[in-house]
Structure 1
Amino acid sequence: MPVARTPHRHWRVTTAAVAATILAGAGAVSAGAESRTSAAPSSNAAAQRGALLSAELLYTLTSAKDSAAELTASGYDPGAARHGVDAYRLTYRTIDAKGQPTTASGLFTIPRGTQGRLRTVSFAHGTGVHRIDAPSMQRKVFLTSPSITYASAGFATVAPDYLGMGTGPGKHPWMDVPSEATASLDLLRAARQFTARTGHTLDRDVLATGFSQGASAALGLGRALQAGADRYFRLGALAPVSGAYDFGGAEIPALLADDSELEPRWGVVYAAYTLVAFDRVHDVYDNPSEVFRDPAVEELFDGMHTGPQMISALPRTLDELLTPYGRDLLTRPKGGLAAGLRGTDSVCKDWKPKAPIRLYMAQGDEQATVRNTANCAAAFQKMGAGVSVVDLGAVDHQKSRHLGSNVQGTARAVRWFSSLRTGSIR
């Protein structure tokens, strides 16, 4: 495909003055006094959430034609492409699931040929197990195509890698909505700092979207923004796609059911990932042998195994995966697992979005039961929120209705976002 690539560039930002050192080829033009091999920041700086540490230009799509070609090759709709795209990896300060200072990374894409204020989109990606299964680490269909879609349509777009993925340390706390929300918000803050040096500013109203795991992350971010978590950014609109919003009440029962509507292979994957990931934050078990017949299952989710490696190593059925105690724990959650699920399942409960909201789903989804979306919509409607549920129809991609919903949901969401008038979507 005709995609132009620009020379590698890297910005390292000082925490005090937020000054940049720009390295292009063998030369360097310094706007600050810190090199890319500078000393570690002070402990005070480590507590500064959203502080930008570095920005690296990953690739450039020089024109709308190049953006459209990339989207077409990945199976995405190129119809909204109006610009070329610059794609950066931002590294920034945030907090981990325990509230301790850490760092994270994410993809930031901006439309080329623009100046001034840009409308702001936050896209949260779906489930991955390897730390490079993240938007800033791989130029890959489901990791980068949504960001390219939004940026080529004229939006500045952040896509968090999440904690423990990308360049961030530690292991990924999968489906931990609070830490997904903080990582997303702090990436917005870092992007706002960075755009000050690109001739742009970010619009205050954040259009929050995401797919699968990222759908819950988008709702978590939206709730935080509406609650005033940031003094600048606020919630503009919500457009999550195919999420497991009722993870404990709908998704886990569906994957455990003998006559499950979900693909059994994915039931094994998600059952294993649930126990391992929730244990990292909420102390679900003392030893993996309590819940897994083979305790080595835990090692498959260490961030260093690829998805194919993980899937091929897992047993084929839930009975082969789980001990009786492990299955009972998923069936009737208690202790740390119950506590974690209360947080994960809160994304649609006990709050009323004041911004426009559409929930996108696809009947026949083999990974996320559509009862998640129905239950989420009912919870919002109970609070008096006007929420639209959009059935995307038969949208298979690579023989997957779930993946297809990401492709079609992105196409629908970018057009909806484009139709919303800035300043009227609070």
Structure 2
Amino acid sequence: MPLSKIFLGLLAAAAIALTGCGAVRPPDVRQAGGLARAHARGELIQLEALGPLERARLQQIASEFPGKIAVAGGASLYRVVYWTPYRGRLVAASGLYAVPAGAAAAKGTVVYLHGTQITRAASPSQPQRVDGNEETAVFAGNGYEVVLPDYIGLGVSTEPQAYLIAAAQVDATLDLLRAVRSASIGLGRDAAPSLYLMGFSQGGQSAAAVHRALEREPLAGYRLRASIGIAGPYDLRALVVNKLTPAHAAAPNNAGYFAFIANAYSGHYGHALDETLTAEYAAAVPALFDGSKTPQQLAPVLPEDARRLFRPEFLHALQADQDNWLTRALDENRTDHWAPAAPFRIYYGDDDSDVLPQSAKTFYAYAKAHGGNVSLHALGAVDHWNSAALTYAPALAWFDALSAVK
């Protein structure tokens, strides 16, 4: 079935035009002197219908998770393309938007912030998505609108990926919600203002950052009800230092995480990569994170021990937790030193070697000591990936309980 594209403008959100299929290409909005003046952040560029998922298929997906999740209905999926600011100018970004089948008003809007992803084709809004179908099954299949930002550097975005850059994730998420509101009007849907956040791994850090931003400045048309962070790297500096100790440096995936952080932060903060990495890896790493590679292509290039990535003097400074441009940047992007007002559940697995459990415990301890509305949930002897799977059923039950209270 050919894909349908629906073009919407903010000033004509109700005027929907269906066109033929084809790939979405981000418009070129670069202008001398900064931000493109003709557009606004959160403005909807394009809405593309990706087709329906029937209840039987969604039930099949949901049944893969523990907890016997029942799916009530089908859903329709869309790719949303919109404007968001990044490094001083507006850029095109994208995300997945799933709406429950039927005419009934949605219970609310669930934003899912996905974990580390290096492959553009696997972004939530792309046909080969890794994240999106599961959230559609569990939440859209049970009456919620579901929103997943691709993030800067994924989906239609051709920017370098803003990996673990909290402000960029906040902007991309809030502007997607603005664009979704315009899209929902054009689709004739009632508003779904009750907002629930859920994030895994990188997305756990993002969920905390978005929750914090919404409590500092609420987003028009939405009311934050609750958030869930799963295996999130909230205190980035402490996590980096801990994962460079002999006990953790050779853990699976570690070298990939550190190479990704070094590449993203060097570009974002204006430092040459060879200030941080050895000449060999400074030359090899950028091509690994250009959006075209898969995780399986990293292992042959990167060392088993993450410490070998770094210049010796830089590694020594990190291991000693000395102040430098990278540790300052990691501190700038920490999301553990604040106290949520709306409830925030923090989940972690005891056997997680990707994001050490101490990150969750540190966030909880600080927030609780400062009057935060937080709870800490240990999932037992499970690793990074299984910690996410175990959280879908309790997340749905919690969101349903909250949505029943108006």
Per the normalisation by structure 2, the TM-score is: 0.90
2:124 counterpart of 1:135 = yes
Q: Secondary structure at the match of 2:116?
A: coil
Question: Residue 159 of structure 1 aligns with which residue?
Answer: 148
Letter in 2 for 1:137: Q
> What CA RMSD, in Å, does the superposition of the two structures yield over aligned residues?
2.6
CA–CA separation in structure 1 for the residues paired with 2:53 and 2:68: 13
Change (3 A) 1:83 1:77: farther
2:4 counterpart of 1:22 = no
Change (3 A) 1:326 1:363: same
Question: Residue 60 of structure 2 aligns with which residue?
Answer: 69
2:342 counterpart of 1:355 = yes
Post-superposition CA distance 1:61-108 (Å, at most 9, x none): 122x22101333x55666141110111110001111x24211100011
> What is the aligned counterpart of 1:292 among 241, 254, 278?
278
Q: Is the 8 A contact 2:44 2:81 kept in 1?
A: yes
Change (3 A) 1:276 1:325: farther
Letter in 1 for 2:361: A
2:366 counterpart of 1:379 = yes
Question: Residue 421 of structure 1 aligns with which residue?
Answer: 403
CA–CA separation in structure 2 for the residues paired with 1:321 and 1:95: 32
2:226 counterpart of 1:233 = no
Residue 7 of structure 1: how far off its partner (Å): 4.6
1:23-422 aligned at under 5 Å gives the runs 23=19, 43-46=36-39, 48-63=40-55, 65-72=56-63, 75=65, 79-96=69-86, 98-249=87-238, 251-260=239-248, 264-283=251-270, 285-288=271-274, 290-294=276-280, 295=282, 296-331=284-319, 332=321, 334-345=323-334, 347-349=335-337, 351-395=338-382, 401-421=383-403
Letter in 2 for 1:402: H
Letter in 1 for 2:210: L
Change (3 A) 1:115 1:99: farther
Per the normalisation by structure 1, the TM-score is: 0.86
Residue 293 of structure 1: how far off its partner (Å): 4.5
Residue 38 of structure 1: how far off its partner (Å): 12
Change (3 A) 1:319 1:116: closer
Residue 141 of structure 1: how far off its partner (Å): 4.8
Letter in 2 for 1:389: L
Residue 23 of structure 1: how far off its partner (Å): 2.8
Work out the number of aligned pairs and report it. 396
Post-superposition CA distance 1:228-272 (Å, at most 9, x none): 2422223210111110111111x2122101012x76232211221
Which structure 1 segments of 5+ residues have no match?
1-5, 27-35, 396-400
Post-superposition CA distance 1:175-232 (Å, at most 9, x none): 0011101101111111111111333233323101110000111111111111124222
Post-superposition CA distance 1:24-67 (Å, at most 9, x none): 689xxxxxxxxx99997894333x1111111112231122x221
CA–CA separation in structure 2 for the residues paired with 1:290 and 1:363: 31
Residue 370 of structure 1: how far off its partner (Å): 0.4
Q: Secondary structure at the match of 1:103?
A: strand
Letter in 2 for 1:273: F
Q: Is the 8 A contact 1:279 1:336 kept in 2?
A: no
CA–CA separation in structure 1 for the residues paired with 2:256 and 2:386: 20
Identity of aligned residues (%): 27
Letter in 2 for 1:288: D
Which structure 2 segments of 5+ residues have no match?
none
CA–CA separation in structure 1 for the residues paired with 2:53 and 2:171: 30
Change (3 A) 1:70 1:37: closer
Question: Residue 29 of structure 1 aligns with which residue?
Answer: none
Question: 233-242 vs 138-147, which deviates more?
Answer: 138-147
